[in-house]
A and B are shown apart, each in its own frame.
Chain A
Amino acid sequence: MAELKTESNFISNRFQPAKSTLLVDRLMNRFIKIGGGLVIAAVMGIFIFILCQLLPLFQQAKVSPIKTFPVPDKEIVALGTDEWAELPFLLDKKGVFYFVDLAGDRGVTSVTPSFQEEKKKSSFKYRPQSQTVIFGTEDGYLSQAKIKYTPAFINGRRVVQQKITTSPFFPLVEKGGVVVAVDYADAESEKMGAGIVLRRGQKEVYAVLLTQKRSLIGKGKVKIAETYELTDQIEGEPKDVLLNSQANNLIIATSKKIYYFYRNEDELFLKQTFEPFQDLPNETIASIDYLLGDVSLVLTGFSGANRVFSLFIPKGKTTRLFGQTKEFPSIPLGANLYSKSLRNKAFLLGEKNFVSLRYVTTEKIRWQAELDFDLKQLVLNGKYNRILFLDQANQLHLYSLKDPHPETSFKALFGKLWYEGYSKPEYLWQSTGGTDDFEPKLSMVPLIVGTLKGTLYALVFAIPIALLAAIYTSQFVIREHRQVIKPAMEIMASLPSVVLGFLAALWLAPLIETRVPSLFLIVLMIPASAILFGWWWSSQSIQLRSKVKPGTEFLVFLPILIVVTYVGWVLGPVLEKALFVVTDPGTGQSVADFRMWWPEITGTPFEQRNSLVVGFMMGFAVIPILFTIAEDAFSNVPIALSSASLACGASRWQTAIRVVLPTASAGIFSAIMIGLGRAVGETMIVVMATGNTPIMDLNIFTGMRTLSANIAVELPEAPHHGTLYRGLFLGAMVLFLMTFFVNTLAEILRQYLRQKFKTA
């Protein structure tokens, strides 16, 4: 028994695989499973990564308290801050500054600015952009104090230090009177002051223009050039004055109306009067201030209305006037505390315990909350990452603000927005500008339209050629030729697009710029000649026709094609002389030039690098793919079907068009979809062969900017994790989804087709 057991053991041992084999097998199995799974996960991860990169675009602002700091109990009239909110200041009614050190341990420092003469201050205005405080005095004078923050390193630690410089007083009105509202703008050589003066119980409005000559040795003396009395132009009681930083726009607000004065040289005239809350009978103006850039006015009413008026040229007018561009949801208690961002078009409103951070461009509320204290003052810092609140109990609250992408929202990216300075809402892509107050315009729509435009022209050109060639190759061409044609087309598909783009831009574009009529002729003449020749040929005797073997027609047709093309090319200028004649506005002579005729007739421009060129070259990139897949679809139609058709007496054309084409239609559709996918994502051809201007039209003689070209052009310069960077990731995502969707559709159709023929 025991012996037998060892025997069988021995036998089973003998057939046992080596331990190492099993080990390697197990290891490899695991390795392949894990590795393969990981590779596939990684490939899918592209989608997730891009999604993660662009999600912050749609996030709301995050605001959280950092700390609270007690401040002296004074009658505070203004709250200001440095760029980093490290050393904010409070200003009291006597004109004393209290600097609060939030970053270090210096506590509160009070500074009384020293003026050349002592005057009692009666009104104040803080202008955060220039870091100045404007003072109006009880005897009708104006002055400003400039706060300069300088970072210094003391014992290796960063300490911000303040310095206040004042300028001498100048009279707003010589007769005297208490200045109750004041503003002052310094535009280097010209300065302007304005104020409301209380005299004999009457509120009067004055403005004054100062000039300063620039000389080689420092700045010249400030001189009063002109004084304006504006009271009689204002109806009702004036409440506030506002100047822009170029010192040429003066806004005066009463409780109902806004008066817009414009200064040209030394002439100040009333340009526009409007009632911002005309349609709201119970509403009166509570606060009015400029937004960054001094183009838009943010208005709030005592009942809580909140509107933005911008300067733009209205339809039919020639100068810029104010008009309402945005309307925000109203604030429950009304709002008269206002602070604008110095980075973007955001502003902060507050009243009692309610605060709201809003963004003008997108018309969105970024953050809104009810605080657990009542507000006295509030301010946003220059970096747009801190908010300071001063409450009624003399506590200064420092909040952190995290809002990296306020300028985007779903509507900003995909909808029409009314941008500053434009006369109507528009779809625009304009990511960078020259100035700090530039408003980025990041609508994807012009890019999507551009992408579709390029694709459309490419497909209009490619589909007929590719499909006709595919039908011919699969149905009529003799076998030997087909074996050459197919690989040749496959190699064409691999031609780098940079080559096509370069040829389009430097060879094709200049070549066809002057020969558009020739091109039209060729496009018309080639198919016409094919049909006419086919017609003529079919009516020839069988002896002649049998000279051309069926399936080699394309070889016979090639010389005709070349001749027709050449004739079309030569006849083009003749046609141009006959049809496209315009009078040259420069010389008054009539010239035959299509490039001038087209804009004259249609009103749309003609560019050298246009959609025609792009369509032609992109067609080049698409034709081989379309051809290959369509040819496969035709060839995969079971031979039994076409044989049956031919046997029933149908001609080869009838078989191809009535039997093969309907059967392969799903495959054709899938070929077109894949061609579309390729055209949508094509980058280099578009970058090189168009002007890359993001415009929204379908004119064939202008260029476009596609999503892909936009990424290639702008991403290398986009700052990491900035709004533009994420916006471009969104562009990539849109592109990804577009092609993925189209390709999936094509793939499913193809599988369906394959399945269908398998059973048949």
Chain B
Amino acid sequence: MNLTTIKNKQTSKTPSFNNVKAKGEPYVWLTAMGLGVGLLMVVLLLGVIAINGISVFWPKKLVEITLTEQSDMKINGSNKIAGHISKKQIRKNGKKEWQLYVGNKDVYGFSFKFVDKDKIVSVERPKNIMSIERLEYGDAIGVPLWLKVKNVGEFAAGTKEFDRRLKTLIKGSHQLWAHIKQIEKKEIGKINRQMQSLALKKKVIGSKKEFDLVEKDKLFALDNKIELLQRDYQILAQQAQDLRVKVNEHTLGYRLVTGEEKVLPIGHIIHTVYPNKLNVWQQTKLFFYDIWHFLADDPREANTEGGVFPAIFGTFVMTVLMSMAVTPFGVLAAIYLREYAKQGLFVRCVRISVNNLAGVPSIVFGVFGLGFFIYFVGGTLDQIFFKSSLPTPTFGTGGIFWASLTLALMTVPVVIVSTEEALAAVSQGSREGSLACGASKWQTIQRVILPASAPGILTGLILAMARGAGEVAPLMLVGVVKLAPSLPLDSVAPFVHLDRKFMHLGFHIYDLGFQSPDSEAAKPMVFATTFLLIVLVVLLNLAAIIIRERLRRRYATSAF
């Protein structure tokens, strides 16, 4: 402050026409600040997401903390706490505290614990402490004691033999789980579907008031079939049951740092690791292993653990369906507006309206989708084609088809606008040249105008895809769910299930962050999913920009 006032006095002596201040030079710095703040915010936002999103996968070292005897932060009376430090912060009263992820939710009832820094006596990193990823209750953190292998014997921890055995057993259990999944989802699922269709047939016949003999026979045959299927079902269910017993017959014993000893069936273990024994190379390996499982696995434990594969897949299928719907209609409308319609006040009004539709809130399209597609069109379809399964709606409820159509409607203005721009950019000369050579109007459009405007159309489409992939609000009304039992595309005829509900990355974020029973435990997953979604959307946008540039160059040279 002082410095400036002194300088002010000095500069005021200089002649005025030389004074840069009078010419508003300081205000240029004010505008520079505007840009600076804008850029800084962008970097900050992306940085927060990227750091939080990536660090989720990086294996964390575990610490064992010894608290003072008088501390009131003991767990179950023990003054030892093990876990990884998830947050260090200073409280309002100036005291430092650490937040630890202590796991073992089955024993403690919580997985996060705040500890005052000044109550900590010592912090150690014991090598033999193990982090066990389980099917239930999150991670277990403790020191392994023994491994009981059925019909073979017991192995004490700390030996090479123990580690080798544990690894093979977990691998074996994964195979068994895959087998169980195969039986339960594929084979039993198939039987279920057959039974459902038989029950439906029975219902159709049964709904008549009087039967003739043929129909009675039919009913009898159906009952027989159902009974046979029932028997098959019993056999398969028994098989799955046996496998479930088998997968849990070996056990691992471990002791928590707080003293409790626990036994865990191998079948409940997904992965074990000694985090404090890892070197950088192993950590990196584990990092990519975690990322892979995040991308390829199904979610577990109310979506707070496991992966997001169904959400990725749902987003992908929806976006593809949306593009399939939006491209032809958008391009058609644009060609009509630019090449066919008489340019006048009416077309100008239409153009402004279409332009403005791109600015209409997405939720309005969601409302329209719910009212028109689901209740009106879907309800009518159900009345005509799926009457036998009513009152359970088939198309009269949210599904991936309606969601795609809704988003297609939402993005159609984007495609129309960019296609029109691209069509307008094609020079009048090429049109006239083509027509003069004897090409028909359609031939001109097909062979000359469309190829030349392809980059613009493609850009519009990619922008539409990016918008569609990131949109959540309308989807909440038209068929997105937090957990879909099956994918919209699979190996069961008719392969594409347009009536199914689906999962979506954007909705996954909303659901995890706001509807999750344990929001603190869900936080890493939300950040990881957010990062994934942002990467996806930014990549799509970048692709749009790059393709636009590249194609523009190519067609710039080939233009005549």
Measuring CB to CB, which residues of chain A are less than 8 angstroms from any residue of chain B? 15, 17, 21-22, 24-25, 28-29, 32-33, 35-37, 39-40, 42-44, 46, 49-50, 53, 464-473, 475-477, 485, 487-492, 494-499, 501-503, 505-507, 514, 526-527, 529-539, 545, 553-554, 556-558, 561-562, 565, 593, 620, 623, 627, 650-654, 657, 674, 677-678, 680-684, 687-688, 708, 711-712, 715-716, 720, 728-729, 732, 735-736, 739-740, 743-744, 747-748, 751
A711→B366 contact, CB < 8 A: yes
Contact B23 A526 (CB under 8 A): no
Is residue B442 within 8 Å, beta carbon to beta carbon, of the partner chain?
A: yes
Residues of B within 8 A of A747 (CB): 352, 355-356
Provide the residues of chain B in CB contact with A684, threshold 8 Å: 472-473, 506, 510
Q: Can you list 7 A-B pairs, Cβ within 8 angstroms, ordered by A?
A: A469-B38, A491-B538, A531-B27, A650-B23, A681-B360, A708-B473, A735-B364
> Judging by beta carbons under 8 Å apart, are B353 and A494 in contact?
no
B180 at the interface (CB under 8 A from A): no
Contact between B21 and A49 (Cβ–Cβ < 8 Å)?
no
Closest to A50 in B: B368
Contact indicator A489/B537 (Cβ below 8 Å): no
Partner among A469, A495, A532, A740 whose Cβ is within 8 Å of the Cβ of B356: A740
Task: Please give the distance in Å from B91's CB to the nearest CB on chain A.
Answer: 10
- Residue interface mask B24-46, A partner, CB < 8 A = 1: 11111111111111111110010
When distances are taken between beta carbons in the complex, the residues of chain A under 8 Å from B438 are: 15, 17
B-side contacts of A529, CB under 8 Å: 33
Q: Are A53 and B31 in contact (CB under 8 A)?
A: no
| In contact, B442 and A25 (Cβ under 8 angstroms) | yes
A483 to chain B, nearest CB (A): 11
Candidates A36, A506, A748; contact of B352 at CB < 8 Å: A748
- State which of B1, B34, B330, B510 has its C-beta within 8 Å of the C-beta of A472: B34
Contact of B3 among A476, A502, A536, A650 (CB under 8 A): A536
Given A46-B365, A491-B542, A495-B537, check contact A32 B523 (CB 8 Å): no
Find out whether the CB atom of B8 lies under 8 angstroms from the CB atom of A736: no
Asked if B11 is at the interface of the complex by the 8 Å CB criterion, the answer is yes
Given contacts A502-B509, A502-B530, A558-B40, contact A36 B333 (CB under 8 A): yes
B499-541 residues with Cβ-Cβ distance < 8 A to A are 506-507, 509-510, 513-514, 519, 523, 526, 530, 533-534, 537-538, 541
Q: Does B412 contact A (CB under 8 A)?
A: yes
Residues of B within 8 A of A465 (CB): 34, 37-38
Give B242 Cβ to nearest chain A Cβ, in Å: 42
New contact pairs (6) apart from A28-B446, A711-B367, CB-CB < 8 Å: A44-B353, A476-B32, A498-B510, A502-B510, A505-B513, A712-B477
B41 nearest in chain A by CB position: A620
Report if A562-B23 is in contact (Cβ < 8 Å); known contacts: A32-B340, A554-B32: no
Establish whether residues B45 and A620, one from each chain, have CB atoms under 8 Å apart when the complex forms.
Answer: yes
CB distance from A538 to the nearest CB of B (A): 4
Shortest CB-to-CB span from B455 to chain A, Å, is: 16
How many angstroms from the CA of A610 to the CA of B476 in the assembled complex? 23
Q: Considering only CB atoms, which chain A residue lies closest to B352 in the complex? A: A747
- The CA of A687 and the CA of B336, in the complex, are separated in Å by 39
Q: How far is the CA of A514 from the CA of B92 in the complex (A)?
A: 8
CA distance A530 to B26 in the complex (A): 8
Give Cα distance in the complex from A715 to B476, angstroms: 9
For residue B466, which residues in chain A have a CB less than 8 angstroms away from its CB?
494
Query: How far does the alpha carbon of A478 sit from the alpha carbon of B311 in the complex, in Å?
Result: 43
B354 touching A43, Cβ below 8 Å: yes
Is A654's CB under 8 angstroms from B33's CB?
Answer: no
| A43-B412, A495-B534 as given contacts; A651 in contact with B513, CB under 8 Å | no
Contact A498 to B443, CB < 8 A, known contacts A536-B4, A681-B364: no
Of the residues B49, B362, B363, contact of A499 by C-beta under 8 Å = B49
Across the interface, do B372 and A49 meet the contact criterion of CB distance under 8 Å?
yes
Question: With A46-B409, A539-B21, A557-B29 known to touch, is A496 a contact of B442 (CB < 8 Å)?
Answer: no
Closest to B12 in A: A539
Beta-carbon contact of A558 and B472 below 8 Å: no
Q: Are B514 and A688 in contact (CB under 8 A)?
A: yes
Question: Quick check: B363 and A33 within 8 Å, CB to CB?
Answer: no
B510→A492 contact, CB < 8 A: no
> At the interface, yes or no: B471 with Cβ under 8 Å from chain A?
yes
B32 touches A530 (CB 8 A): yes
A654–B24 CB distance below 8 A? yes
Q: Which residues of B434-493 have CB atoms within 8 Å of chain A's CB atoms?
A: 438, 440-443, 445-446, 463, 466-467, 469-473, 476-477
Interface flag for B103 (CB, 8 Å):
no
- The interface residues of chain B lying within 8 Å CB-to-CB of A535 are 4, 8, 21, 26
Interfacial chain A residues near B26, Cβ < 8 Å = 531, 534-535, 537-538
Asked whether A688 lies within 8 Å of B513 as measured between CB atoms, the reply is yes
The answer to whether B172 has its CB under 8 Å from any CB of chain A is no
* Known contacts A496-B533, A684-B472, A711-B366; A533 and B29 CB within 8 A of each other: yes
Interface bracket on B? 35 or more
Smallest CB gap from B35: residue in A: A469
The reply to whether B332 and A53 form a contact with Cβ atoms under 8 Å apart is no
Q: Are A497 and B42 in contact (CB under 8 A)?
A: no
Which residues of chain A have C-beta atoms less than 8 A from B375's C-beta? 720
Considering the complex, give the chain B residue whose CB is closest to the CB of A710: B363
Q: Which residues of B contact A39 (CB under 8 A)?
A: 329-330, 332-333, 336, 412
Partner of A561, one of B3, B40, B339, B442: B40
Least Cβ–Cβ distance between B46 and chain A, in angstroms: 9
B40–A683 CB distance below 8 A: no
Contact indicator B470/A495 (Cβ below 8 Å) = yes
Q: Is the CB of A43 within 8 A of B23?
A: no
Cβ of A739: which chain B residues have Cβ within 8 Å of it? Answer: 356, 359-361
Q: Does B10 sit at the interface, judged by CB under 8 A?
A: yes
Chain B residues in 8 Å Cβ range of A491: 538, 541-542
**Whole-angstrom distance between the alpha carbons of A683 and B361 in the complex?**
8
Residue with the greatest number of chain A CB neighbours at <10 A, chosen from B10, B36, B360: B36
Name which residue of chain B comes closest to A532, CB basis. Answer: B4
Task: Please measure, in the bound complex, the distance between the C-alpha atom of A499 and the C-alpha atom of B469, giving whole angstroms.
Answer: 12
Residues of chain A lying within 8 A (CB to CB) of residue B7: 536, 539
Give the residue of A25, A36, A490, A716 whose beta carbon is less than 8 angstroms from that of B440. A25
Kindly state the separation between the CA atoms of A627 and B42 in the bound complex, as whole angstroms: 13
Judge if B370 is at the interface, Cβ distance under 8 Å.
yes
Is the Cβ of B467 less than 8 Å from the Cβ of A49? no
| Complex interface: chain A residues within 8 A of B366 (CB) | 711-712, 715
B496 on interface, CB distance cutoff 8 Å: no
Chain B proximity of A715: nearest CB distance (Å): 6
CB of B472 within 8 A of CB of A498, answer yes
A182 to chain B, nearest CB (A): 46
Q: Please determine whether B336 and A37 come into contact, CB atoms closer than 8 angstroms.
A: yes
The complex places the Cα of A44 from the Cα of B354 at a distance, in Å, of: 8
Confirm or deny: B48 has a beta carbon within 8 angstroms of a beta carbon on chain A: yes
A385 to B23, CA, bound (A): 77
**B contact residues around A24 at 8 Å (CB):** 440, 442
Tell me the nearest residue of chain A to B90, going by C-beta.
Answer: A573
Q: In the assembled complex, which residues on chain A have CB atoms less than 8 Å from the CB atom of B32?
A: 472, 476, 530, 553-554, 556-557
Q: Say whether A490 contacts B49, CB under 8 Å.
A: no
Q: Judge if B20 is at the interface, Cβ distance under 8 Å.
A: yes
A503 touches B92 (CB 8 A): no
**B24 lies within 8 A of A708 (CB):** no
B221: Cβ under 8 A from any A Cβ:
no
Tell me the complex Cα distance, A516–B3, Å: 30
A237: shortest Cβ distance to chain B, in Å? 58
Instruction: With a 10 A CB-CB cut-off, give which of A36, A729, A740 has the most chain B CB atoms.
Output: A36
Tell me if B413 is interfacial: C-beta within 8 Å of chain A.
yes
For residue B551, CB closer than 8 A to chain A, the reply is no
B25 touches A534 (CB 8 A): yes
CB within 8 Å for A531 and B363 given contacts A465-B37, A496-B506, A499-B530: no
Contacts of B361 in A (CB 8 A): 680-683, 708, 735-736, 739
> Contact check: which of B35, B49, B333 meets A473 at CB < 8 Å?
B35
Q: Is the CB of B542 within 8 A of A729?
A: no
Task: For the complex, give the distance between the alpha carbons of A716 and B375 in Å.
Answer: 12
Across the interface, which residues of A come within 8 angstroms of B507, CB to CB?
A: 498
Q: Give A532 to B3 CA distance when docked, in angstroms.
A: 11
